Structure 1
Amino acid sequence: MLLVLGLQGTPVMGVYAQHLAFSNGAATATRQEKTIAPANSKSIIKVLGELEAIYKVSFNYNSDQLEGKFIKNDLLPNKTSLEQTLKLVLRPFGLKYEKLQNNFYLIYAEKPTSQNLPIERTGLKRAQVAAIDISGKVVDEAGAPLPGVSILVKGTSSGTATDATGNFTLSVPSDDAVLIFSFIGFMSKEIAVNKQTVINVTLVPDAKALEEVVVVGYGVQKKSVVTGAISSVKATELENQQIGRVEQALQGRTSGLTIASSSGAPGAASSVRVRGATSLNDANDPLYVVDGVVVGDGGINYLNPNDIESIEVLKDAASAAIYGARSSAGVILVTTKRGKTGTINVNYNAYYGTQAPARKLDLLDATQYATLINEQSVNGGGKPVYTNPESLGKGTDWQSLIFNNNARIQDHQVNISGGSEKSTFYTSFGYFGQEGIVATDISKFNRYSIRLNSNHKLAKWLSFGQSLGYSRVKSNGGVGGNTDFGGPLSGAIMLDPLTPVIVTDPTELKAVPYATQAVVRDAQGNPYGISKVVQQQVTNPLAYIQTQKGNYDWADNIVGNAYVEAEPLAGLKIRSTLGARLNYWGSENFTPLYYLNANQFSIQTSFARNRRQLFNWNLENTASYSRSIGNHNFTILLGQGAYLDNNSSGLTVTYFNLPVDNFDDASMNYSTAADNINATGSEGIHHTVSSLFSRLTYNLKEKYLFTGIIRRDGSSRFGANNKYGYFPSASLGWVLSQEDFLAGNNQVNFLKLRGSYGITGNDVLGDFRYISTVGGGRNYTFGNDNYLIGYSPDAPANPNLRWEETSQLNFGVDAVLLQDWTLTLDWYKKKTTGILQTVVLPAYVGATGYPYGNVADMENRGVELELGYRKQVGALKLDVRGNVSYLENEVTYLGEDKTFLEDGAKLQNSSYLLTRTALGHAIGSFYGFQTQGIFQNQGEIDAYIAENGNKIQPKAKPGDFRWADLNQDGQITADDRTFIGDPTPNWSYGFTFNTTYKNFDLLAFGQGVGGNQIFQGLRRLDIPTANWQTNALNRWNGEGTSDTYPRLTTKDDNKNFANPSAFYLQSGNYLRIKTLQLGYSLTKETIGKVGLQRLRVYVSSNNLLTFTKYTGFDPEIGGNNMNNYSIDRGIYPQSRSFLLGLNVGF
């Protein structure tokens, strides 16, 4: 293995070293076979090979110069440093060495000649034909010379290599020759000679060829020896992305993740699932750990994505078990940027743009609406409502009034970093602002962030440092969305187009309600229109916006840690880390007097101020010892942790009947009667965890790999009999590419097989569920039958309550093929047992409630594939990456004699739940009636009969759905429902296409999902007098007119729309072009004159195109739990943006 220097100055092991420019093992073995060493002697080549193994370094030399040179064993130095050994071994033969990088040495003869070039080790031969003499220099991006670069005449075995100063000379046979420059850790480059005699080359780092280091929890590991399933996203992949939240940095970029936005509103969170749902409860979010601090509970909203150095997703038990009882839903490790030794770097990154809705719904205009309302009324036995629908014209387009086609979005980031050998620092200041595309006045998000990270060395063996991040978030989030009613989006969809925006008719202004109620008015004093036909919670969206103006939520987040690390002995590191999260958040809301309609009004003003605070901390102490003994390498980690969560409290104060009519004038300084003030307080229930953990990593020659983990956690959330649990894992790896049968294989450059099995836990399940609770409000009779108010147990205690356990089996392959292709393939089987559910007890127990028990089980199975391709040809650099994941979920046990759970979402006016969790099916599957087309005439209704001759649907009319009688009992009942769709995608995928040519760069990024259905509630046509989508024009209105959309009627005895059915389901498949960006970087020669290191400008578009058959606003629909996932009642859609950006480096 060749040891090269990492991009950040860290020695890292080259995965592909034996196959690239300066391979050690094969060349050394070949030389030793050709020459037999004298008795009691060793060849210089063998001595250097032993030194490479001992000191983990690499020597670059010309084998011809060392061939036939031997040293007696008794002259070999003992117990000396590497440099002293080299001097003693090399000096007698006129050889010298030069340290080029931390672990990279060049050995050469004292008199520089062409023979000093380390050609033979690359397998190259110097050109013999001197047709054209070429000279030049090879440097890196910073201008530093690169010694030992391989230069090959394409199509021949002729070549040379650069010397210690990066210079080279070479003779080529003709001026149409092509030179290939290659070097470990850098992308190779091809240059045509084309009559040039001087060729200077700049090589750029190749992150693929460098040995990548990944964070694994309480440490880092070289990716080549990692045995777990870990996906990683680096800062270089995010620097050209415009993202507002951390989840967006992961969507489509890693396999095994299903990420869906629950709303397109500014600052809205997304649902994140690592290898699917893990629990039937609302405990499926992964554990977030930021710089060693467990934040959880959506706490990553405070993070500025520009401060992120890397994100690692621990997907299998072998990698996640180190976090024990909180890791069954996966672990996401976020590492923020830190300073590096050297000059101070200052960077400014910014973009500004506008947003617009990517799609609007096609809604009925006034004429269409009136026509269909007439038809609905007549079909229900009534008379036409509107005498001349054509005269009504287009009416009010409510969507155009609440959607903003020029909503602003901007981001400004400044970071400063640098330091010395003793201290390094990284600090940043950021602002991100986004206006919503729906009801912008009450849909905004602003985040201000500051970060300060630093490391300090007090001595060679003692260091300390800290990571500290602060953010201030303010959002106006009164839009709501994805609800049957309420909010401006719902109003814009369902309010009839006959209602005017404002009322100006003097006659109407003098009538009810405009003359008698507190009707909301615009800035000119005109009252907003109130529908004469639509009531309930469907209101004028512009009037609703006025009632919410000024209301906001806010949050101050401080998350950080401090550490001290000592290395008293070589390889032994003792570290103590104290982390904390301090969170203050709240809201201020004013409710004016208003009248929106007969169902939506306020008869008193109120001003509410909510304040909450939370303080979490964790203390972790670890000791790790790393050592290599010959070819055996191992690291032992021992650790202890103590954690406190949910140390919170809050207070809400509300003042009623304030003498003001808007938010800006509202204040709690007004004098008011005591009965007009209401105050409520609360305190969180502390959650504590105590942990011990250990990990052993071992490898033999970095060929045979093993990792073992054991963690013991104790949680305050579980019963006395199961207060502590153990979470073990074990994983194995085999690097086949190091075996002799693959050595020198040019097609398979690196190949590793790995397998793992382990157990993780989930304790995010509520507090005190293991104890018996007592409830009030119960009446008892004694003696004379008088009722006495008393208390009784709610549910019996369960001291055996424990965490849910997830066991996972994983097999994976990592490979590098044909030098330019990378591949990662994983198969897994993930089973959760002991899922918490209530246990039904017999009535004679006397309890009013049921206790919790570890009852249910479920299983996930899946396959994940990640592919990458990198290539440079001349000035063209290409980087293409893609990933795809397949997931199946199945509930396997729900308790004795229990086949399904009664839980899920509902449609208004429906007797049935939309979803069901049942044995043999995916969690939260859509459950309803199957349709068999539409009855076209009465004869079809009469012919649909049971075995006894009775009509199966006696109340049906032509134009109604024909429901499938699945249980064949001759009638349509709840027992005829079945599973009709899966809300969770089976497939998720993403791709990145990144290319640069000279100073131009182009980026395309896309992602999508497949295999799921969406329940589009907006397809219903039974909300009285509400507006509909234009697909209602395709309804049945006579024999043969439609077999998919039923008739319109005010009397839906057949429950065409009230019954959840396959009619509502549409494919949720989509492919979205998330980012398309074109950039241009000015040359260093140009910007260097004004003291700049970098200046790049770019144009970009986000969510440019979406390919889908879904007809709603947006096919990307998450949910806050698995029972409302992929249910669309009018979701706040994603925006399409166009941006202009700037990157400046000083």
Structure 2
Amino acid sequence: MTLMKFARGMLTSLVSFLVFTNAFAQSKTVTGKITDSKGDAVPSATVTVKGTNNSTSTAADGSFSISVPSGSKTLVVSSVGFETKEVAISDNMSITLETKNAALNEVVVVGYGSRKVKDLTGSVANITPKDFNKGQIGTPDQLIQGRTPGVLVTPSTGQPGAAPTITIRGTASIRGNQQPLYVIDGVPVSNVGGTVGSASGVEGGTTPLSPLVFLNPNDIESMVILKDASAAAIYGSRGANGVILITTRGGKGGKKGQFNFGANTSISTTAKRYDLLSPDEFLAQAKRANIDGGSDPATAAVAVQAIDGGANTDWQDEIFRTAISQNYNLGWGFNTKRSTVRLSGSYDDQQGIVRNSSLKRFTTRANLSQKFFEDKLKFDVAATYSNTKNEYPPLSNNAGFQGSLLGAALQFNPTYPVKNPDGSFYQPGDQRNPTQMLAYFEDKDNINRFLTSVAGTYQIVKGLSYKAVFGYDRTTTERIAFADPRLGANAYGGTTILAVPSNGPSENLNNPIFGNGRATKQNNTFTSILFEQYLTWDKTIKDHSINAVAGYSYQKFENDYTQKVGWGVNIPVVRPNDVFVKNFNNFKNYRDLFPGFYQEFLQSFFGRVNYSYGDKYFVTATVRVDGSSKFGANNRYGTFPAFALKWKLSNEKFFEKSLGKYFADFSLRANYGILGSQDGLDPYGAIRLGFAYPAFGTNQAGTHLIVDENKDLRWEQAATTGVGLDFTTNDNRLSVTLDYYYTERKDLLFLGYTPGGFSATSRLYQNLDGFVVNKGWEFSANYKIVTGKKFNWDASYNMTTVENQYKNLDRPIITGEVSGQGLTGAYAQTIQEGQSLFTWSMLEFLGFDGNGFARYAKGASNQIVGSALPTFFAGLTNNFSLGNWNLSVFINAVTGFKVYNNTANALFLKGSLRNARNVTREVGFGNENPFNPGSVSTRFLEKGDFIRLSNVNLSYNFNLKSKAIRSLSVFASGQNLALLTKYSGIDPEVNVDKQLNGVPSRGFDYTQYPRPRVITLGVNLAF
């Protein structure tokens, strides 16, 4: 019996040994590394083979090695503070863990420090690369369009690098560009984009470049938007329009370092064109217009025969093109416990859809960080150099009835040929051949910008540190424009104007382009120097936590501008084959035009205290005192305080027993503060300033008074109040933020006539009575709709309401200059008591009478007919992932505003046909009388409401088994793919500058550079 038991036992042991040996023989060793969402190693994480007891822990650098039995397909990875994750087994695994309630624990920059999202008391939006718009991004401001509530980004035109209009929680000022303050790696930068187009020989002014055009969008780690006073008050006088903090990428990749390379190619086309009359339709309707104008059919036929050039030319085809653009990015970085380094470079070659327009940008960047003396001393260096070359077509915002390039193309006779038989350009009468304009006009600039910051932080004692920051920003620009002597005699008027700020003197230099040629050269150097130092104190005592900042800031700005014009070529240029040498020194005559040099200074003292108790109650108190050289002695300094409270109900015991079952975080916020602004005030606006010049035709000097002195000029002040609610559900699938805001902005800066004065020599800056109110709601929600092993779907939605009104204004102010033949001095907007800023004021069009003449309401007197400011805007993003595929779809909408179609007002009138100018088919076949004047009226005022499929991005991440290449992905993106609107123009999302007497405008569409439709293909890899 015992022998039998022994035999069975031996047999069982033998079988077990064989099974174990077989299993061991089929197992394999899997290695990998665990990191967090920032790329930092996660030590002591537990790695388990699912369904077994095989487990291991990661080393200090996040690496692991584990034996995996045959047939096992999944690893389970867990760590304290992170979401547990299941991943398919592969070779050389790289696994990223997400922080529990990652959005709440995320640390964001808030100005002179950083805070966790869960501890923020103010309204702050943090936008990171995963949320950025994708595709062809010319300037960083395009990254955030539509992505957060309260922030409205309106493209001015579709020209590469053009500055958009950005408003945060409504528009209030009536001076300056009203742009937010940009702070890049701690350095406030000025809104300097380049030189002005109005001085380059183009008739009228042009849209400036974005102040961020020098910055490579791929270098940006995050863009934090400070929207209310409690968040932005630390920047005091520059925070009234909001603050955007840009943080650039630091080094990653551990000790070994990591290279990243990206390349993409974009194809841009016109999304929409004007529906113009074809040659046959044009001739037929021109004949009809002559008959309707009183001619008999025979005379009308002769008139039409005289304007029939016999060709079939699509002038829109002549100026538009399919544009091909390229972008390349290369970065290298590493990080250790004490050192962080990232070096990067990029090259952009972006063609515009209008011929002769482009942007070429080369950037290099270095971010360095090093700790010394047992980490008590830390140095940070961030430096960017960029070279940007732009080419501009002859487009302007306020050309006369002949039009700049686009205006000329839209109205040029479609039966005219491009060239004459001898090769010269066909150029009849008072019209402008757009192809001749492209061939004979050149406008290019070269912008170099260097921005750097050097910061040293020393830990005096635990919790107390001192930081000093030096910032240097220098931009040098040279812009040269050439106009060929063969350019038609009707091009660009024929004189150059000597201009000064405000209503300065002018001189006719008697230098028409035709026969003379012309060159204008602008040189501009802008320098900003910043020095800041501040103390930071962090202390936690039991349930009490304090973070305090106190500091001093000094910033100096200096601008040096010169302009020169040359005319009269040394060698005649007449025949088509003659060569026009585009060299600025190739002229007989030169004249120095009005120079511009200024200095301004800003000195500030600031402090902020963040206090919390028990992670339940939070208080923030901020104050900044700013002194500006722009103001007179009586009001040079302004004080801007703010206060905010937050109550985290989710950490209360009563909450845990009730709503705590549903919410991981539930908080209430309230804030009040005063922000300041000097935006739009000239550097010497408060002092008596004159301009001396030689009197015309004599050698005697004359003097022109630009502005008079106002010692009592005050800062604009914006008092803001807000309340907010934030919550996140326990399953971390839904997070919501709701805010109500109310702002009163008073003491608005305005350049007007001295009380009692009536001449242009009696102007001065003053503060207007009354105040502007902006109020509304902001809502944002993020929801993980589907969370699966293979398929995931999450959505983000934001929306904003805005109500704007000027109260107690003692005088009406007009703006919004309307361009077009017979419209000199006409305007379409007013700012007045009880109305929204940029309210439309014009005749109310009731249609045409039986004779084709316009009928107007209320005795043809101007009426208030709506506003250019939107009352609602929203954005919706859907993100899908299936295996290695990722798809993002972004839609945005803007409603409640009206657009003035100045293009139609100036160009598309029935009378244009009698003058051999083309019009749209709607006008050509309409019943308007050809003698009906194109008065400013609601005939050309349209609702701008739209919904746009703005951005679609599809990407694929490859599973690689290469040790050389860490990751590889390819993507395809589309921008401006579809537009749903009733607006008859090209695009209702437009804001062509039509300011009048220095007062900005809003909502004008006048022969703007069209916004393109863009398809981009690209690849990104890391190695």
TM-score, normalising length from structure 1?
Answer: 0.74
Give the equivalent residue in structure 1 for 2:929: 1048
Q: CA 1:649–1:330 in structure 2 vs 1: closer, same or farther (change >3 Å)?
A: same
Counterpart code for 1:316? D
Q: CA 1:5–1:320 in structure 2 vs 1: closer, same or farther (change >3 Å)?
A: farther
Counterpart code for 1:1031? E
Q: Deviation of residue 903 (structure 1)?
A: 2.9
Note if 1:586 corresponds to 2:478.
Answer: yes
Equivalent positions of 1:880-919 (< 5 A) are 880-895=795-810, 898=811, 900-908=812-820, 909-910=822-823, 912-919=826-833
1:400-449 deviations in whole A, cap 9, x for unaligned?
222113x111110000010333322111010111111112xx11110000
- Equivalent residue of 1:265, what SS? coil
Give the equivalent residue in structure 2 for 1:369: 282
Q: Deviation of residue 1064 (structure 1)?
A: 0.7
Equivalent positions of 1:477-876 (< 5 A) are 477-484=392-399, 485-504=402-421, 526-531=423-428, 535=430, 538-549=431-442, 551-596=443-488, 598=490, 602-650=514-562, 652=564, 654=566, 656-659=568-571, 665-668=581-584, 676-680=589-593, 682-743=595-656, 745-764=660-679, 765-774=681-690, 797-817=709-729, 818-838=731-751, 841=754, 843=756, 848-856=761-769, 857-870=771-784, 871-876=786-791
Counterpart code for 2:549? L
- Contact 1:188/1:203 (8 A) holds in 2: no
Say which one has the larger Rg.
Answer: 1
Note if 1:289 corresponds to 2:189.
Answer: no
Q: Deviation of residue 578 (structure 1)?
A: 0.3
**Distance (whole Å) between structure 2 residues aligned to residue 743 and residue 398 of structure 1:** 70
- Contact 1:135/1:168 (8 A) holds in 2: no
**Distance (whole Å) between structure 2 residues aligned to residue 370 and residue 278 of structure 1:** 49
**Residue in structure 1 matching 2:923, options 1032, 1041, 1061:** 1032
1:794-818 deviations in whole A, cap 9, x for unaligned?
7653211121111100111111125
- Bigger shift: 349-358 or 1113-1122? 1113-1122
Give the equivalent residue in structure 2 for 1:1078: 954
Note if 1:309 corresponds to 2:194.
Answer: no
- Contact 2:183/2:244 (8 A) holds in 1: yes
**Distance (whole Å) between structure 2 residues aligned to residue 10 and residue 888 of structure 1:** 45
Give the equivalent residue in structure 2 for 1:382: 295
**Residue in structure 2 matching 1:255, options 116, 140, 149:** 149
Note if 1:467 corresponds to 2:382.
Answer: yes
Counterpart code for 2:893? G
Q: Deviation of residue 580 (structure 1)?
A: 0.8
**Distance (whole Å) between structure 2 residues aligned to residue 1029 and residue 139 of structure 1:** 72
Counterpart code for 2:339? S
**Residue in structure 2 matching 1:398, options 308, 311, 315:** 315
Q: Deviation of residue 1139 (structure 1)?
A: 2.0
Counterpart code for 2:536? S
**Distance (whole Å) between structure 2 residues aligned to residue 1071 and residue 421 of structure 1:** 48
Counterpart code for 1:702? D
Give the equivalent residue in structure 1 for 2:835: 921
Q: Deviation of residue 492 (structure 1)?
A: 1.3
1:567-603 deviations in whole A, cap 9, x for unaligned?
0211111000000101110112222211435566522
- Contact 1:261/1:269 (8 A) holds in 2: yes
Q: Which 5+ residue runs of structure 2 have no aligned equivalent?
A: 1-33, 193-210, 493-512
Q: CA 1:569–1:215 in structure 2 vs 1: closer, same or farther (change >3 Å)?
A: same
**Residue in structure 2 matching 1:217, options 97, 111, 136:** 111
Give the equivalent residue in structure 2 for 1:1139: 1016
Q: Deviation of residue 882 (structure 1)?
A: 1.8
Counterpart code for 2:892? Q
Q: CA 1:844–1:249 in structure 2 vs 1: closer, same or farther (change >3 Å)?
A: closer
- Contact 2:561/2:597 (8 A) holds in 1: yes
Q: CA 1:250–1:658 in structure 2 vs 1: closer, same or farther (change >3 Å)?
A: farther
- Contact 1:366/1:389 (8 A) holds in 2: no
- Contact 2:45/2:79 (8 A) holds in 1: no
Percent of pairs identical after alignment? 26
**Distance (whole Å) between structure 1 residues aligned to residue 566 and residue 782 of structure 2:** 57
Counterpart code for 1:1048? N
Q: Deviation of residue 244 (structure 1)?
A: 1.5
**Distance (whole Å) between structure 1 residues aligned to residue 77 and residue 242 of structure 2:** 42
- Bigger shift: 837-846 or 918-927? 837-846
**Distance (whole Å) between structure 2 residues aligned to residue 618 and residue 294 of structure 1:** 8
- Contact 2:327/2:349 (8 A) holds in 1: yes
Counterpart code for 2:903? L
Give the equivalent residue in structure 1 for 2:507: none
Give the equivalent residue in structure 2 for 1:1102: 975
Q: Deviation of residue 922 (structure 1)?
A: 1.4
Counterpart code for 1:865? F
**Distance (whole Å) between structure 1 residues aligned to residue 688 and residue 406 of structure 2:** 44
- Contact 1:399/1:493 (8 A) holds in 2: yes
Counterpart code for 1:297? N
- The alignment's C-alpha RMSD in Å is 3.5
Q: Deviation of residue 651 (structure 1)?
A: 5.0
1:840-869 deviations in whole A, cap 9, x for unaligned?
556489994143222242111121111112
Higher relative contact order (CA 8 A, sep 6+): 2
**Distance (whole Å) between structure 2 residues aligned to residue 823 and residue 668 of structure 1:** 59
Q: Deviation of residue 228 (structure 1)?
A: 0.6
Counterpart code for 2:857? A
Q: Deviation of residue 375 (structure 1)?
A: 2.5
Give the equivalent residue in structure 2 for 1:266: 160
**Residue in structure 2 matching 1:1069, options 921, 939, 945:** 945
Equivalent positions of 1:408-487 (< 5 A) are 408-439=324-355, 442-459=356-373, 460-484=375-399, 485-487=402-404
**Distance (whole Å) between structure 2 residues aligned to residue 685 and residue 647 of structure 1:** 5
Q: CA 1:5–1:354 in structure 2 vs 1: closer, same or farther (change >3 Å)?
A: closer
Equivalent positions of 1:51-66 (< 5 A) are none
TM-score, normalising length from structure 2?
Answer: 0.83
**Distance (whole Å) between structure 2 residues aligned to residue 386 and residue 432 of structure 1:** 53
- Contact 2:398/2:819 (8 A) holds in 1: no
**Residue in structure 2 matching 1:334, options 246, 269, 274:** 246
Q: CA 1:1114–1:458 in structure 2 vs 1: closer, same or farther (change >3 Å)?
A: same
1:958-1008 deviations in whole A, cap 9, x for unaligned?
32232111xxxxx43xxx211112212222222222222111111222323
Counterpart code for 1:1139? T
Q: CA 1:142–1:586 in structure 2 vs 1: closer, same or farther (change >3 Å)?
A: farther
Q: CA 1:606–1:207 in structure 2 vs 1: closer, same or farther (change >3 Å)?
A: farther
- Contact 1:501/1:528 (8 A) holds in 2: yes
Q: CA 1:139–1:309 in structure 2 vs 1: closer, same or farther (change >3 Å)?
A: farther
Q: CA 1:1072–1:843 in structure 2 vs 1: closer, same or farther (change >3 Å)?
A: closer
- Contact 1:217/1:333 (8 A) holds in 2: yes
Q: CA 1:999–1:834 in structure 2 vs 1: closer, same or farther (change >3 Å)?
A: same
Q: Deviation of residue 665 (structure 1)?
A: 3.1
Q: Deviation of residue 933 (structure 1)?
A: 3.5
**Residue in structure 1 matching 2:844, options 930, 935, 944:** 930
Q: CA 1:352–1:1133 in structure 2 vs 1: closer, same or farther (change >3 Å)?
A: same
